[in-house]
Structure 1
């Protein structure tokens, strides 16, 4: 009986793996509009992460940057996974270190980041109005919620 259960469980596991594989392969193609939204979203996350990292490099392990830089990596990873799921190449960051401005104080930097988070929320709002596949919508909503509910308050308290 135990061997039968193991065999059935193994078959179910194999079936689910192949079903997931087939699902990824048969995912509908993304519209150019959605591809553009994905690209702009990941580039915005790349820019934020680079800015936050440069701030840490300049001022040390200061909050909220040390916490939020890790969140930006997670945002990028969730977007990169979407590119991969749809058979698209994950774009590299278009941002050069020299293009990212740093500020003379943590408070000035926080004020800038407060506005950057508002802009990030607006970017996701714009794209959430599109006809998006469910998985893309979920990632956009999660990234937007993190900016609104975690990042924005952190920069409000910092400035």
Structure 2
């Protein structure tokens, strides 16, 4: 009897641990999919608050990716320059949060970002993420009711992203 109860308790503990780990992994994946460009591109009901939030989250993520690459591979071009540009984009967006009384999202990007395994992979990720970034801003700019100052900021940032995309493509070409 004692052995049966012991086995039962062990199975229950194992089940609870499994469910806890599964929920945590699922919640993290869900969170990652709902942030920045990924979230915006999946969202069918964008509001001004969501548009600003997605944009800032994606700028945070871009900056964190550059940080991770720089920490792992050193001051590699164009990552150093793009990291500075991402900070400029963040500084462009923040006053809009204040102007429209939108809560500024917490910057979680550093906790959710890992350095790619190689510099070549970093360029590939940069290309993928800038492509998503450009698509996100294109979608956000089509949102009805977006104020003119928000449109100007997002148009400027989207244009800069086209330059970032070209820089990552050139970097990938050089690394092959």
Counterpart of 1:45 (choices 46, 59, 67) is 59
Over 4 Å off, 4+ runs: none
- In the TM superposition, residue 103 of structure 1 has moved relative to its aligned partner by 1.4
Moved more, 80-89 or 68-77: 80-89
- In the TM superposition, residue 96 of structure 1 has moved relative to its aligned partner by 4.2
| Equivalence for 1:91 | 105
Give CA deviations for 1:120-147 in whole Å, capped at 9, x if unaligned.
0000011111121000000110010000
Distance in 1 between residues matched to 2:102 and 2:140, nearest whole Å? 19
Distance in 2 between residues matched to 1:144 and 1:61, nearest whole Å? 24
| Equivalence for 2:20 | none
1:33 aligns with 2:50: no
1:110 aligns with 2:123: yes
- In the TM superposition, residue 85 of structure 1 has moved relative to its aligned partner by 1.7
Give CA deviations for 1:44-77 in whole Å, capped at 9, x if unaligned.
1101101101110111110010000000001111
| Equivalence for 2:76 | 62
Aligned length, in residue pairs: 127
- In structure 1, the gaps of 5 or more residues are 1-31
TM-score (norm 2): 0.68
Counterpart of 1:76 (choices 69, 87, 90) is 90
| Equivalence for 1:152 | 165
Give CA deviations for 1:12-52 in whole Å, capped at 9, x if unaligned.
xxxxxxxxxxxxxxxxxxxx711101000100110110110
Counterpart of 2:76 in 1: which secondary structure? coil
1:123 aligns with 2:119: no
- In structure 2, the gaps of 5 or more residues are 1-45
